Structure 1
Amino acid sequence: MSFTAPRAGRRAALLGAVASLAALDGARAQTAASQPPGSTPGQAPPPSNGLERVAAFEGQVTGVAVSKDGRMFVCFPRWEKDVEISVAEVGRDGSLKPYPDAEWNAYRNAAPRDLANHLICVQSVTVDPQGFLWILDPAAPGNEFNMPGGVKMLKVDLGTNQVVQTVAFDSATAPQGAYLNDVRVTPDGKWAFITDSGQRGAIVVVDLSTGRARRVLDGAGPTQPEPDVIVKADGRELRRTDGRPTLFAADGIALDAEGKYLYWQALTGRTLYRLPVASLIDEGIPPTRLASAVEKIGTTCVADGYWMDKAGNLYVTSPEDDSLKVRRPDGRMDTLVQDKRLRWPDSLAEAPDGTILVTTSQIQDMARYHEKGATPQQAYALWRVQPAR
C-alpha cells in the first residue's frame, strides 16, 4: 500500500480502493465460478470447492491470525512499497483498523521512528492457544537487510488491546541476512519457535518467561534450501531479474496440539521435518547431536505456510499450483482446494468453527521477478476454506 493523498484523506482513499478492488475482483471471481475455462453459458457449474473470499486489500498481505472469538488480524510487510498499516484487525465488512493502535503503525520509510516501539516490516501474526496475539517483526524492509534494534516479537492481550511483552532479538539471534519468518507458541505459553528463512536458515527458540532467545540448527541441512528444488510459479522457474533463483530456508512451521513436536520445512524444498520440543528446549544437547535427532517424516510440496489442527491434519500452502493441500496423520497428501484465485497462498490460521483462513500474497508478481515492474493479477486477499474431512 503506497499513498500520496493528504493524511486526512488517506483512510478514505484506502477504504475506497479496497471497496473498488473487492467489487472488481468479486465480479471476476463470480464469473470464474460460474463459467470455468472450457465451459459455455448454460452449462452446469462444477461442484463448489468452498473457497470464499473474506476481504480484499490494496497492499501485499502475508500473515493471518484468528482469535478464539473470531477476531481476524492480518499483516502487510514493507517488501516493495511503504505501507499505511503494518498490522490490522479486519472488520466484518472487510475494513482495516491499525492494530494494536495507530502509533505502533506510524513508522514510515521516509520518516523512520523509534525502531523498538514501532512496527517496521511485519511478516507474520498468530494467536497462541492461550489467546494472545503475537506479532513477528523481522524489521527487514525489502526482505533484504534487517534493522538492528527493530527486530522483535510482540505479545498483545486481546482483552485490553495492549502490548504486554516485547521480545527483542539482537545480532546473535538475528544476524544480518536473517529473516525471521513465522512463529508458533506452545500450549502452555512458555516457549516460542521461529523459522529463519534468510541467508543462513535456523530455528530460533525463545524462552518466553525470560525473553531469552537462541539459534539452533543454524546452517544445518534440515533448515536449508534443498539444492535439487527449483521453485516455479505459473509453470515457469521463479528467478529475480538479476538471474538469482528463489532460495528461501526454513519457512513453514507448525506445532501439534499437545506441543510435543515442532514441524517445519524450507520454502525452497519439499521435505517435512520434525523434532521433539523437549529436545529443542534442552540447551545441554550439542548442535551436532540435535541435528542428527531431526526426523525426516515425509515429502510435501514447495510450501510457504503451515497449520496443524487438533486432529493432526497438516495444512500446507502450495504456491506452485495455486492450491491448499492437507497432509493426513497417516502421511497421505490430498489437495483440499485448487483455484487460480489462490495466487501464491501464503499463511494460514484456523477459525473457531474449524474453517481455514489463507492469505494470497502473489509473490510471483513482485517487481523483483519482472523487468517491467510489479504485475499483480488481482486484489490481494484473505480467503476461507472448508476444513479437511
Structure 2
Amino acid sequence: MSWKYLITASFLLSMLACKPAKQNQDKQIEVIASSDKQWTGVAVSQNGRLFVNFPKWSDDVPVSVAEIIDGKTVAFPSPEWNNPEKNESFKAVQSVVVDEQNKLWVLDTRNPLFQGVLEGGPKLYVFNLENNEMEKMYSFPEGVYQPNSYFNDVRIDTENQFAYMTDSGNGALIVLDLQLGESKRVLDLHFSTESEVDHLVCDGVKWENSVHSDGIALSPDKQFLYYIALTGHSLYRISTKVLRDLNLSDEQIAAQVEMVKKVPATDGMMFDKDGNLWLGGLEDNSINVLQSNGEIKKQVKDEIIRWADSFAMDQTGNVYFTTSQIHLPENQRKQYQVIQLKK
C-alpha cells in the first residue's frame, strides 16, 4: 500500500471545512455539518463534542477520525494519529462510539480498500476525552479475525466490561472481555449473521452487494445484543449473558439466537434510554423506530436522508446520524452530512 497523505491541520481545514448548518423544511431535521469526503461513524460526548470517521474506501481519504469544532473538521486526537505511515496510527477506521463513561472508542478494521486485513489484525482503541490521549488498545488474534474480516460496528458494555462487534466481511459477532483482553468469534457463518439478499433498491437505485452482519445495538439493560445484516430485513438478538460465557460451545450459543422482527433495511442501529430501537430506512430515505411496544414507527422520511449510516444521541435526546450515500454512484452524490433529529 502506498500512502500519500501526510495530514496537517491546515490541509484538514481546507479539504474538510464543514458548511454552515441549514434548516430543512421539516423543523425536526437540521444539517449540523457537511463534507466533500465520505464519512460513516458519528459519536457525541456527554458535553456535546461531535466526532466522525472517514472509512478507507479509496486513496482520497485525508483523515480517519475527526472532531467537528466551530464548523471545521479537525484531526483527532492529532494529525500524527491520522498519518497512516506512522506505526501507531489509524489505518482504516469504520466506526466511533462514546460510552457511558464518556470515553471515545475507535474501531479500526485495518482492512484498507477491502484488500485484506493488515498484519496485526484489527484494533480497538479507547481515548480519554479529558486529555484526548489513548488509554488502551485491544488487538485480536488470528482466527478471531479472518483474512477478509471487516470489523464494522462496536458497542461497549461498561457495566460488565465487554465489547461487542460485527464482522461484515465474514458474517460473525466478535466478543471482547475488556478486563482480560480475551476475545472470541461467535455465530461464524450462522444464518443470523449472513446476508439475506444480493441487492437493495434504495430510493429507486439498485445497489448490488451482499454484506453480512453490520449494525448492532445494546439494550439499555445490557441484557441483549441486537444485530442485523446490511443486506437483509431480519433483526436478531442474543443474550449478552450467553455471549459473555467464554466456555459455551458454538452450538450452545447458536441455540440462543432469537428472531425479533422483520424491519426496514438499516445500516447502523441505536437504542435510546426508553428502550426504543432507532433504525435507518435505506430503501426509502427514512428513519424508523422499533418502539418498546414492538411496533415500528416511521419517524421521518425525507430525500435529504441519503443512506443513514450510523447513529448517536446527545444528553438531551437529540439523535444524530451520518449520510454516506453508499448506494449512489460518486458522480450523483451530494455533500455528506451529519443530520440532527431534534427531540
TM range (shorter): over 0.9
> Larger radius of gyration, structure 1 or 2?
1
Q: Distance in 2 between matches of 1:143 and 1:5?
A: 22
Q: Distance in 1 between matches of 2:9 and 2:93?
A: 24
2:105 aligned residue: 134
Q: Please, which runs of 5 or more residues in structure 1 have no aligned partner?
A: 34-47, 240-245, 367-373
Q: What secondary structure, in the 3-state scheme, does the structure 1 residue paired with 2:264 have?
A: coil
- 1:177 to 2:148 alignment: yes
1:262 aligned residue: 225
- 1:80 to 2:53 alignment: no
Q: CA deviation at 1:141?
A: 1.4
| RMSD between superposed Cα atoms in Å | 2.2
- 1:145 to 2:116 alignment: yes
Q: What secondary structure, in the 3-state scheme, does the structure 1 residue paired with 2:82 have?
A: coil
- 1:378 to 2:334 alignment: yes
Q: What secondary structure, in the 3-state scheme, does the structure 1 residue paired with 2:252 have?
A: helix
The change in CA–CA distance for 1:118 and 1:6 in structure 2 (over 3 A counts) is: closer
Q: What secondary structure, in the 3-state scheme, does the structure 2 residue paired with 1:293 have?
A: coil
Q: CA deviation at 1:5?
A: 11
Q: What secondary structure, in the 3-state scheme, does the structure 1 residue paired with 2:283 have?
A: helix
Q: Distance in 2 between matches of 1:150 and 1:97?
A: 27
- Asked whether the equivalents of residues 154 and 164 of structure 2 are also in contact (C-alpha less than 8 Å), the reply is yes
The change in CA–CA distance for 1:6 and 1:105 in structure 2 (over 3 A counts) is: closer
- The correspondence for 2:172, drawn from 192, 195, 202, is 202
The change in CA–CA distance for 1:249 and 1:312 in structure 2 (over 3 A counts) is: same
The change in CA–CA distance for 1:341 and 1:219 in structure 2 (over 3 A counts) is: same
Q: Distance in 1 between matches of 2:7 and 2:291?
A: 51
- Asked whether the equivalents of residues 344 and 364 of structure 1 are also in contact (C-alpha less than 8 Å), the reply is yes
1:62 aligned residue: 40
- The correspondence for 1:216, drawn from 164, 186, 189, is 186
- Asked whether the equivalents of residues 121 and 142 of structure 2 are also in contact (C-alpha less than 8 Å), the reply is no
- Asked whether the equivalents of residues 184 and 194 of structure 1 are also in contact (C-alpha less than 8 Å), the reply is yes
Spell out the pairing of 1:1-389 with structure 2 (5 A cutoff).
Answer: 10-14=11-15, 18=17, 22=19, 33=25, 48-91=26-69, 93-107=70-84, 112-114=85-87, 117-149=88-120, 151-188=122-159, 190-198=161-169, 200-227=170-197, 230-239=199-208, 246-366=209-329, 374-387=330-343
State the one-letter code of the partner of 1:97. Answer: V
The change in CA–CA distance for 1:339 and 1:281 in structure 2 (over 3 A counts) is: same
TM-score w.r.t. the length of structure 2 is 0.93
State the one-letter code of the partner of 1:383. Answer: I
State the one-letter code of the partner of 2:294. Answer: G
State the one-letter code of the partner of 1:250. Answer: S
Q: Distance in 2 between matches of 1:220 and 1:208?
A: 25
Q: What secondary structure, in the 3-state scheme, does the structure 1 residue paired with 2:199 have?
A: coil
- 1:229-249 CA-to-partner distances (Å, cap 9, x unmatched) read 63112313212xxxxxx1111
1:44 aligned residue: none
Could you say which structure has the higher strand fraction?
2
Q: What secondary structure, in the 3-state scheme, does the structure 1 residue paired with 2:116 have?
A: coil
State the one-letter code of the partner of 1:326. Answer: V
TM-score w.r.t. the length of structure 1 is 0.83
- Asked whether the equivalents of residues 248 and 268 of structure 1 are also in contact (C-alpha less than 8 Å), the reply is yes
